[in-house]
Amino acid sequence: MRRFGLIGQKLGHSFSKRYFTEKFETEGIANARYELYELPEITAFPALLAREPELVGLNVTVPYKEAVIPYLDALDESAAQIGAVNTICVSGGKLKGYNTDFIGFRDTLQQFYPIEELSKALVLGTGGAAKAVWAALSSLGIGYTCVSRNPSENELAYAAITPEVLQAYPLIINTTPLGMAPDIERAPAIPYEALTEGHFLYDLVYNPEETLFLSKGRVAGARTINGMPMLYAQAEASWEIWNNERLF
C-alpha cells in the first residue's frame, strides 16, 4: 500500500484527502491511500515518518511550509529559490522537497488575469504561500508590493493601504489564512470601498468557496477567484512528482 498525506497544524479545512481519494477511485488507482496528519509542532514530523513506513509522498500546509525544510535531505531548485515546500517525495529513506504552489498559482493566474507589461500586484501576507506567489509573479513579469502586519523594508503596513494606494494595484492577492473556515467573518484590513470593476481579487483560501475578502470584492464589481483551481493544479503537479521523479 502506497500512502500519501498532508501535514499541517489544523487540517479540518482541507479538501486534499477527498480530492485524492476520489482521484484514486475514479482513475482506478489501487493500493494507494491519502491521509491527514495533524502535527502540533513540526518537531513531531520524524515520529510520523517512523510510524508510517509506507509513506511515499506528502503535501505540506500552514504553518510548516518553511519549518519542514531542515528535516529534508534535498530541495528541488524552485523550492530552494522560493524557500518554502508544499510537496515532499519519500524514497529510500530520503526526503526531497518541492513547491507546486508556484505551478498552481502561475497557471491559474494566467487563465484569470489579463497580464500586461505594466501590471502591478498587491500581495497580502508574507508567509510560505506568499513566497510561491512572489516567484510566480516574477516569472510572469508582474511587479508586486507586499503587505505585512510587521513590514520590513520595501513592504507596506496594512494601515498604509489607502484608497489611493489601492487604485495603483489592479491585482490583489490574499495569501493569508484570514477568512478560512471556521473563522469566515475575518478579512484582510484594506479599504474595500475603493475597489472597482477594474480590480482582480485572487484569494488562496478555498474554504469557504467565497471568503469575505472575495465577497466584498464581488460587491464592488471586481472579478474574483478562490484557491480551489490552484489546489487542483498543485495537487496534480504533486501527483506527477510522486510518480515520475527519480530523487537520488
What are the grid coordinates assigned to 23, written together? 482521484
C-alpha 190/C-alpha 165 separation (Å) is 10
Catalytic residue among 10, 17, 65, 131: 65
Give the C-alpha distances (Å, rounded to integers) separating 190 from 125, 171, 193, 225: 12, 13, 9, 18
208 exposure class (CB count in 10 Å sphere: 0-12, 13-18, 19+): middle
120 as an active site residue: the answer is: no
Q: How many CB atoms lie within 10 A of CB 7?
A: 20
Amino acid letter at 108?
T
Catalytic residue list: 65
